[in-house]
Amino acid sequence: MTILRPEQERIKQSTREFVARNIIPRAAEFDRSGEFHPYLLDEARESKIFAMAVPKEYGGLDYDSVTQALVLEEWGYGCAGMGTTLAASILSMDSVLVAGTDEQKRRYFTPMLSARIGAFGLTEPGAGSDAGSGKTTAVKAGDDYLLNGSKCWITNGAVATVYVIYALTDPSKGVKGLSAFIVERDRPGFTIGTVDHKLGIRSSNTSELLLKDVRIPAANLLGKEGDGMKIAMKTLDLARPAIAALSVGLAQRALDECVKHLQKRFPDKPQPGQTLQFKLADMAIQVEAARQSLHHTMELRDSGAPFSKESAISKTFCSDVAMSVTAQAVSLMGSHGYTSELGKYMRDSKIMQIYEGTNQIQRLVISRAVLTPAPAAVSTLKAGE
């Protein structure tokens, strides 16, 4: 178990109370209707939780990485769809944190202080795992850029105020011609296409974005032309642990609900039979190991040490755990599992293995890191020792 500081305990507890009051009671309703939940933004305004990753100098809460993970775990526990809304907004902010100027950060982060949200637009119909093969372009026009193209499956797409959009400034250079831009919602020519119906995280909004001659000032370019892929990769390194945190919350919730059910289902026995006990123990082991992998990544992130491999490991491990534990919980609860809200946790878990880079792609990243020889350690041993 990570030993939390008193301030982290306090934030975890107050988040748990917020989730119990505002998220858990309405999660099933929004799952059924597949609707986004603007009420939640109103509820969250006072706590400034949508600005938890915004640095102090821009008026945000400036939570350290472990604390952000604690908050996201609680939101994932309550409803992974609503948790995804928060995580995706932070994902878009991460691009600005990575490459934004002081003025761009102030501009992008200010709406988050009053619970407005952002979106991150990288994926296109022909460019998912291979993010560099997108077709959206940004052509220089005097002091402006004109953006044309489309993005698909963008979380918060229809409900964000500000966006980070990736587009090719030089298509002839392929991935080296990709650049990142801040795009405000109210720019003429920027419209919302299809809003997606989904298997899980149904309370989050996922939409297509259409860009037709969207004019934005050159001041909205993040970094330099051609920096896009570098910014996107650094952004995803920073952001993947958020998916790990939602996954831990999902797995913990499924375990807790399963335990509650089994205690009711077998009231005559102080404990269910040994087979069930062992299965519950294995689920608890997985949840705790997932949480530790996540916290380790977050501690590395705050220490300034490299954490790209650990970010991929924790995203992959925690989401695989969420899938496995939620499916196991359904099995252990029999038909009650299949017909109750447990099914939602299983459906919500699936996307954790897909978005922000599929777990197959993460395994490529991890294997590359494992296969790359680490720099030779300086040995203090003398010959013969």
Ligand X SMILES: Cc1cc2nc3c(=O)[nH]c(=O)nc-3n(C[C@H](O)[C@H](O)[C@H](O)COP(=O)(O)OP(=O)(O)OC[C@H]3O[C@@H](n4cnc5c(N)ncnc54)[C@H](O)[C@@H]3O)c2cc1C
Query: For residues 121 and 50, what is the distance between their CA atoms, to the nearest angstrom?
Result: 19
- Is there binding between residue 355 and ligand X (CB under 6 A)? yes
Among positions 181-200, residues that touch ligand X (CB under 6 A) are 198
Question: Of 128, 134, 249, 337, which one interacts with ligand X (CB under 6 A)?
Answer: 128
Q: Which residue is nearest to ligand X (CB)?
A: 128
**SS3 call for 215:** strand
Options 29-37, 185-193, 259-267, 355-363: segment touching ligand X (CB under 6 A):
355-363
Q: Which is nearer to ligand X, 155 or 169 (CB)?
A: 155
**SS3 call for 372:** coil
Query: For residues 10 and 2, what is the distance between their CA atoms, to the nearest angstrom?
Result: 15
Query: For residues 362 and 364, what is the distance between their CA atoms, to the nearest angstrom?
Result: 5
Q: Which is nearer to ligand X, 99 or 287 (CB)?
A: 99
As a whole number of Å, the CA-based R_g of the chain is: 22
Query: For residues 380 and 368, what is the distance between their CA atoms, to the nearest angstrom?
Result: 28
Among positions 91-120, residues that touch ligand X (CB under 6 A) are 120
Minimum CB distance to ligand X, residue 121 (Å): 6
- Is there binding between residue 361 and ligand X (CB under 6 A)? yes
**SS3 call for 266:** coil
Q: Confirm whether 356 is a catalytic residue.
A: yes
Options 75-83, 306-314, 317-325, 359-367: segment touching ligand X (CB under 6 A):
359-367
Minimum CB distance to ligand X, residue 13 (Å): 30
Instruction: Return the amino acid letter for 341.
Output: E
According to DSSP, residue 203 is labeled T
Q: Give the long-range contacts of residues 11-16, CB within 8 A, separation 24 or more.
A: 11/63, 11/67, 11/70, 11/71, 12/70, 12/71, 12/74, 14/47, 15/49, 15/70, 15/71, 15/74, 15/75, 16/74
Question: Of 219, 360, 367, 368, which one interacts with ligand X (CB under 6 A)?
Answer: 360
Minimum CB distance to ligand X, residue 127 (Å): 7
> By CB neighbour count within 10 A (0-12 exposed, 13-18 middle, 19+ buried), where does 40 fall?
buried
Applying CB under 6 A, the site for ligand X has a residue count of 22
Q: Which one is catalytic: 74, 225, 310, 356?
A: 356
Tell me which residue of 82, 118, 79 sits closest to 100, measured CA to CA. 118
Options 62-70, 139-147, 207-215, 351-359: segment touching ligand X (CB under 6 A):
351-359
Minimum CB distance to ligand X, residue 274 (Å): 37
Bridge partners for 120 per DSSP:
164
Phi first, then psi: give them for residue 182, nearest 5 degrees.
-85, 130
Instruction: Return the amino acid letter for 354.
Output: I
Minimum CB distance to ligand X, residue 157 (Å): 7
Among positions 32-91, residues that touch ligand X (CB under 6 A) are 88
Q: Which is nearer to ligand X, 182 or 258 (CB)?
A: 182
- x/- letters, 129..168, toward ligand X (CB under 6 A): x-----------------------xxx-------------
- Is there binding between residue 121 and ligand X (CB under 6 A)? yes
Question: Of 192, 233, 284, 354, which one interacts with ligand X (CB under 6 A)?
Answer: 354
- List interacting residues with ligand X (CB under 6 A): 88, 120-123, 128-129, 153-155, 198, 201, 206, 351, 354-358, 360-361, 364
Active-site positions read 356
